[in-house]
């Protein structure tokens, strides 16, 4: 079998590369070691050269930069148009895209447009024929290995944080090309910054985070009380808790919330979906309390407790208070 | 790209909501006998939560524009009919089951192709899907359906507004860290809806009872052409317990004591 090229679509926003782009580069290199083929970065931007050079330098990969006025911001139609044409010209074996709000927006459509396979949210792969991609299902309770079954290009989106970026040896070469890319009627209207937060979780030393397993907003007093026992304690939350209106957005930890790295992260009734754990996996010590022993959160935790929080937290709070008073 | 899929110019706005029947996320999952997915027997199924946000958004659009018809469609075995009844109790006028009893539509491409084949001549002005399914979490069906129907598409939509002339829709897409991206699409279009876009209402008891009586039309997949799968699951397994996670056991008092000792020893935070 002839080895086919591996294309890596570089993600950038507001003139900056997103860290996941370097993870994609490392993923592409790992894949090339088993599947063969060369790896090339693809930058869609306007102007394209600065981002392309930055990526070529930080990844060490050669870069093809596609330039079009529609690439000054992310535009799904324009991306699809240009990438579909690139795929038909170069016939790559794999096209690697970040599993981010932009990546998962165009990746499945690109797969359809080029009659390719599509695997989303992968976290790694298993060498062999065919190559099998790892991905979690059922909120992380089951792991799977999936494989593309079409002989055309495989479109794959990589979960941010799943692969460690590697140090480049030397900067790759950059080629800039002006391309056609119609946007149809789709118009990018710009970014809207997150509302200002009165709570900066990144400064907290201890985060006590509430998940749906707390049972209801009436039980959040326990979370607040425990957090208040630490000098720099704060209340965090999983997405479902914020969606349900139990706590405001500024408490949310995870992909669509804040990324935190406290000394202690206490996950209370949080199932442990990867979108949440990627926002807190850098905490020094992660403690998870959940009634479900199969909850995915225990795969991210250092210490696990299978208990009902409404019974356990009062005991923990009393004990901690006691220790603090006695200066133990 | 010319859009072969256009509205009929009538005054009625037609919305399609795609729903999926999924197991309760709190379930204990087991791997199926074939080792390629989760075992469905013994699980309690309901509507994918993200699809309920999509359904609620459709109802809100109807409240604003009045002349709006909402249809719900699902691909699945006969049990998926319950998901349609739920959508109908929440306000969908029609529900259609694309009956995949033999489970051949395993990839998102297959599901999207079946819905596309059925929807192609229905002239929907707006198609709404949940951003992903709670069980397989692929997030592919919506955007693939958009591409098959040649519709413009926006995913992870957290706010939307249809223009008064009903010719375009402005969306806010949710990005990382609470940031949003605004995008305008011409109608017809497809959106995948993120949780938190609205607060879904509960169905009234009257509606729940009413839709119980209805017969839901079912379409065999064979009548919708080929089922093109593009991805296959070769292996499913329970993840290994993290080697780093130490479980604390005993009575509540003992666990709390151990926990505080271990925390204090590793990160002195009080």
User: pLDDT tens digits, residue range B240-267?
Assistant: 766 789 999 999 999 999 999 999 999 9
B34 Cβ under 8 Å from any chain A Cβ: no
Phi-psi label, residue A155: left if phi above 0, alpha if psi -120 to 50, beta otherwise: beta
Cβ pair A23, A17 in contact under 8 A: no
Q: Which of B25, B22, B34 is nearest to B236 (CA)?
A: B34
Closest Cα in chain A to B26: A292
Under the banding of pLDDT at 50, 70 and 90, the label for residue B130 is: very high
A279 Cβ under 8 Å from any chain B Cβ: no
User: Both tokens of residue B210?
Assistant: 């009413």
The answer to whether residue B104 is domain-embedded is yes
Task: Please name the residues in contact with A262: beta carbons below 8 A apart, sequence gap of 6 or more.
Answer: A201, A204, A205, A206, A207, A280, A283, A284
B-chain residues near A254 (CB < 8 A): none
Q: Give the C-alpha separation, B126 to B132, whole Å.
A: 18
Q: Give the C-alpha separation, B74 to B98, whole Å.
A: 6
What mean pLDDT comes out for the span A271-282? 90
**Interior/surface letters A169-204, b for 16+ CB within 10 angstroms, e for the rest:** eebbebebeebebebbbbbbeeeeebeeeeeebeeb
What CATH number did the domain enclosing B159 receive? 3.40.50.620
**Least Cα separation, residue B132 to chain A (angstroms):** 10
Total number of domains in chain B: 1
Q: Which of A44, A61, A25, A23 is nearest to A173 (CA)?
A: A61
User: Both tokens of residue B187?
Assistant: 């109608």
**Least Cα separation, residue B215 to chain A (angstroms):** 31
Partner residue opposite A118 with nearest CB, options B140, B237, B256: B140
Mean pLDDT taken over chain B: 93
Cβ pair A9, A97 in contact under 8 A: yes
pLDDT of residue A181: 92
Under the banding of pLDDT at 50, 70 and 90, the label for residue B9 is: low
Phi, psi of B36 (to 5 degrees): -125, 5
Could you tell me which CATH number the domain at A6-178 has?
3.40.50.620
Partner residue opposite B178 with nearest CB, options A138, A148, A194: A194
Number of C-beta neighbours around residue B4 at 10 A? 8
| Residues of the domain holding B36 | 13-224
The model's pTM is 0.91
Mean pLDDT taken over chain A: 94
Model confidence over A36-73: pLDDT tens digits? 999 999 999 999 999 999 999 999 999 999 999 999 99
**Least Cα separation, residue A57 to chain B (angstroms):** 25
Peptide bond into B232 cis (omega under 30): no
SS (H, E, C) B45-88: EEECHHHHHHHHHHHHHHHHHCCEEEEEEEEECHHHHHHHHHHH
pLDDT(B2) > 50:
no
Reported as half-sphere exposure (CB side, CA atoms, 13 A), residue A230 has a value of 25
Model confidence over B221-234: pLDDT tens digits? 999 998 888 899 99
Collapsing DSSP states into helix, strand and coil, what is residue A164?
A: coil
Q: Give the C-alpha separation, A99 to A62, whole Å.
A: 22
pLDDT(B8) > 70:
no
User: Both tokens of residue A90?
Assistant: 């170069």
Q: Are strands A132-137 and A142-148 parallel, antiparallel or unpaired?
A: antiparallel
Cβ pair B172, B108 in contact under 8 A: no
Under the banding of pLDDT at 50, 70 and 90, the label for residue A2 is: low
Partner residue opposite A303 with nearest CB, options B3, B23, B262: B262
Residue percentage of chain A with pLDDT more than 70: 99
The answer to whether residue B163 is domain-embedded is yes
The answer to whether residue B146 is domain-embedded is yes
A-chain residues near B135 (CB < 8 A): 137-138
pLDDT(A275) > 90:
no
Under the banding of pLDDT at 50, 70 and 90, the label for residue B100 is: very high
C-alpha A310: how far from chain center: 31
pLDDT(B3) > 50:
no
**Least Cα separation, residue A188 to chain B (angstroms):** 5
From residue A30, how far is each of A38, A164, A166, A282, B145 by CA, in Å?
Answer: 11, 11, 10, 24, 32
Partner residue opposite A101 with nearest CB, options B137, B175, B236: B175
Cβ-defined contact of A138 to B239 (cutoff 8 Å): no
pLDDT of residue B10: 62
pLDDT(A273) > 80:
yes
| DSSP code string of A35-65 | H---EEEEEEESS-HHHHHHHHHHH---EEE
Model confidence over A82-130: pLDDT tens digits? 999 999 999 999 999 999 999 999 999 999 999 999 999 999 999 998 9
Cβ-defined contact of A141 to B29 (cutoff 8 Å): yes
pLDDT(A195) > 80:
no
Model confidence over B157-178: pLDDT tens digits? 999 999 999 999 999 999 988 8
If contacts are CB pairs under 8 Å, which of residues 168-227 in chain B contact chain A? 168, 170, 172-186, 195-196, 199
> Taking the domains of chain A in order of start, what are their residue ranges?
6-178, 201-325
pLDDT of residue B178: 83
Residue percentage of chain A with pLDDT more than 90: 83
Environment class of B20 (CB within 10 Å of its CB; exposed 0-12, middle 13-18, buried 19+): buried
Model confidence over A122-168: pLDDT tens digits? 999 999 989 999 999 998 899 999 999 888 999 999 999 889 998 88
The answer to whether residue B261 is domain-embedded is no
CA angle A274, A280, A282 (to 5 degrees): 115
A123 Cβ under 8 Å from any chain B Cβ: no
Q: Give the C-alpha separation, A27 to A131, whole Å.
A: 13
In CATH terms, is domain A201-325 a member of 3.40.50.1220?
Answer: yes
């Amino acid at each position: 079998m002839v080895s086919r090229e591996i294309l890596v679509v570089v993600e950038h926003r507001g003139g900056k590369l997103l860290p996941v782009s370097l993870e994609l580069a490392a993923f592409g290199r790992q894949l090339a070691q088993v599947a063969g083929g060369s790896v090339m970065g693809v930058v869609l931007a306007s102007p394209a050269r600065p981002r392309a050079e930055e990526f070529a330098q930080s990844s060490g990969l050669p870069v093809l930069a596609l330039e079009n006025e529609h690439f000054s911001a992310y535009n799904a139609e324009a991306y699809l148009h240009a990438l579909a044409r690139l795929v038909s010209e170069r016939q790559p074996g794999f096209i690697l895209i970040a599993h981010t709000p932009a990546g998962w927006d165009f990746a499945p459509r690109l797969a359809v447009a080029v009659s390719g396979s599509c695997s989303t949210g992968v976290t790694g792969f298993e060498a062999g024929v065919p190559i099998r991609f790892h991905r979690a299902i059922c909120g992380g309770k089951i792991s799977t290995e999936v494989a593309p079954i079409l002989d055309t290009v495989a479109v794959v989106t990589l979960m941010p944080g799943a692969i460690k970026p590697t140090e480049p040896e030397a900067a790759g070469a950059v080629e800039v090309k002006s391309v056609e890319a119609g946007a149809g009627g789709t118009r990018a209207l710009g970014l809207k910054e997150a509302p200002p937060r009165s709570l900066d979780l990144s400064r907290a030393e201890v985060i006590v985070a509430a998940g749906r397993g707390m049972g209801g907003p009436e039980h959040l007093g326990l979370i607040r009380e425990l957090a208040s026992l630490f000098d720099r304690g704060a209340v965090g939350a999983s997405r479902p808790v914020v969606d349900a209106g139990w706590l405001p957005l500024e408490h949310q930890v995870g992909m669509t919330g804040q990324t935190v790295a406290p000394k202690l992260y206490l996950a209370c009734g949080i199932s442990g979906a990867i979108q949440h754990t990627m926002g807190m996996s850098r905490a020094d010590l992660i403690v998870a309390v959940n009634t479900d022993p199969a909850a995915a959160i225990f795969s991210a935790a250092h210490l696990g407790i299978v208990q009902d929080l409404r019974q356990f937290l009062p005991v923990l709070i009393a004990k901690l208070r006691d220790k603090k008073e006695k200066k133990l | 790209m010319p859009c072969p899929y256009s509205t009929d110019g009538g005054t009625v706005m037609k919305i399609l909501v795609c729903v999926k029947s999924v197991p309760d996320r709190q379930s204990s999952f087991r791997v199926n006998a074939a080792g390629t997915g989760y075992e469905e027997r013994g699980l309690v199924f309901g509507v994918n939560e993200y699809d309920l946000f999509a359904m609620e958004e459709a109802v809100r659009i109807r409240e604003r524009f009045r002349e709006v018809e909402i249809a719900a469609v699902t691909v699945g075995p006969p049990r998926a009919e319950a998901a349609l009844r739920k959508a109908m109790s929440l306000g969908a006028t029609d529900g259609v089951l694309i009956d995949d009893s033999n489970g051949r539509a395993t990839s998102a491409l297959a599901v999207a192709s079946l819905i596309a084949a059925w929807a192609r001549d229905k002239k929907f002005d707006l198609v709404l899907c949940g951003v992903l399914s709670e069980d397989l979490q692929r997030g592919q069906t919506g955007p693939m359906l958009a591409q098959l129907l040649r519709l413009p598409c926006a995913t992870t939509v957290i706010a939307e507004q249809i223009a008064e002339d009903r010719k375009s829709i402005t969306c806010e897409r949710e990005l990382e860290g609470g940031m949003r991206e605004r995008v305008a699409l011409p109608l017809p279009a497809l959106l995948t809806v993120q949780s938190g876009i609205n607060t879904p209402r509960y169905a009234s008891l009257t509606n729940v009872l009413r839709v119980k009586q209805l017969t839901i039309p079912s379409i065999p997949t064979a009548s919708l052409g080929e089922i093109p799968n593009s991805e296959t699951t070769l292996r499913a397994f329970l993840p290994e317990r993290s080697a780093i996670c130490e479980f604390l056991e005993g009575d509540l008092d003992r666990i709390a004591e151990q926990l505080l000792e271990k925390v204090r020893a590793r990160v002195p935070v009080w």
